[in-house]
Amino acid sequence: MTQLWKRPDRAIWTANLTLLASAVFLLSFGQGLLGGARTNFFIDTLGLTGEQVLWLEGIREIPGLALMFIAAAVMHLPLVWQTAAYILIMGVGYALYAPVDSYGTLVAVAIFASLGMHGWMPLNSALVMSLTTKEKSGQIMGVLSSVTALASIVGMGGIALADKVLPALTDVLKIAADNDLVVATGHFPYDPDHKTMLEEAKRVGVKRMEIIHPAHIHCKTSIAQMKEAASEGVKLMLSGLGTTTFPLHETGPVYAVKMIKEVGADNIVYGSDYGQIHNPPHVVGTRWLIKLLLSYGATNDEVRKVMQETPAEHLGLD
């Protein structure tokens, strides 16, 4: 039987190769951290639009397109010097993201950092070739590719674990707590976005919380996650429009009944989402939804709770 995986030969790992592997790990770890935070930084901190972010992604590839000419200009320098220079440029470029306060400055910094990154990438393999034999280079480059992937995952995972609610959102949640308002989530994944925000809301004293569109394609909260949220006192929206008109987004009436049965009608609140010019009026759409829920197995009592009793309790109505 063919052996699919072979344990790396430790004897081929010289001190220089081990140092190179460590450098590759740290660089990839840093890029993982950057990758996990950069889009939020661009949008939430700098206030960029989606169009500006897309332009930035294209503009920062300019050094990559010009790499052939840059490499030709510096090829007379020793390989180690080139590598050190590109890593220094990349590091300084990434560090300069911190004080950026305008789009123009961000573009300049991104191009500078991209120059270092694109210069370093091909030299990685060249360094391996210079530090070992031709026969062993393939195995070493394979291990370094694994190190790169692992470090990137660890970096992005670190960002997720360190993710915290922004102070401005905490201030809003405190206002909601002080005025006994309902805090509803947006169209984001349950973990970490909804879960993190709801934990913070509970910490500052919010009593009424709701996950909107939990079955929506963008949020896709599992039944187990819905039960977890419900155990913390969070209500979950059952969308009329999503269930009837966008079954691919909300998985249709069968899944809506599954939510009611498994999560409990005491934890589900109805939100119509109807009324737009291209969709049914609220009354027409709601009647349609009730017929579907009853047809697919929901009881009269369950429908009454979802449509009337649980929402009234949720809003503090007698």
Give the list of residues 6+ apart from residue 240 with CB closer than 8 angstroms, or none: 270, 271, 272, 273, 274, 285, 286, 289
**SS3 string of the chain?**
CCCCCCCCCHHHCCHHHHHHHHHHHHHHHHHHHHHHHHHHHHHHHCCCCHHHHHHHHHHCCHHHHCHHHHHHHHCCCCHHHHHHHHHHHHHHHHHCCCCCCCHHHHHHHHHHHHHHHHHHHHHHHHHHHHHCCHHHHHHHHHHHHHHHHHHHHHHHHHHHHHCCCCHHHHHHHHHHHHCCCEEECCCCCHHHHHHHHHHHHHHCCCCEEEECCCCCCCCCCCHHHHHHHHHCCEEEEEEHHHHHCCHHHHCHHHHHHHHHHHHCHHHEEEECCCCCCCCCCHHHHHHHHHHHHHHCCCCHHHHHHHHHHHHHHHHCCC
How much of the chain, in percent, has pLDDT values that exceed 90?
A: 32
Give the list of residues 6+ apart from residue 275 with CB closer than 8 angstroms, or none: 281, 282, 285
**Residue 32, Cβ neighbours under 10 Å: how many?**
22
The torsion angles phi and psi of 103, rounded to 5 degrees, stand at -65, -40
Encoded amino acid at 43, one letter: I
Size of the chain, expressed as the number of residues it contains: 318
Position 249 scores a pLDDT of 63
**Residue 169, Cβ neighbours under 10 Å: how many?**
15
Give the list of residues 6+ apart from residue 259 with CB closer than 8 angstroms, or none: 214, 215, 223, 226, 236, 238, 268
Q: pTM of this prediction?
A: 0.52
| Residue range 269-282: mean pLDDT, rounded | 90
Residue, of 125 and 247, whose pLDDT is higher: 125
CA distance 131 to 247: 58
Q: What is the largest CA-CA distance in the chain?
A: 82
Position 314 scores a pLDDT of 95
pLDDT band at 71 (very low <50, low <70, confident <90, very high): confident
- Asked if pLDDT for residue 8 goes beyond 70, the answer is no
Q: Find, among 57, 29, 40, the residue nearest to 150 by Cα.
A: 29
| Residue range 13-27: mean pLDDT, rounded | 84
Instruction: Map tokens 């397109």 to a residue.
Output: 65
Position 269 scores a pLDDT of 97
Tokens encoding 290: 């009730």
Decide if 168 contacts 45 (C-beta within 8 A): no
Position 1 scores a pLDDT of 46
- Asked if pLDDT for residue 265 goes beyond 90, the answer is yes
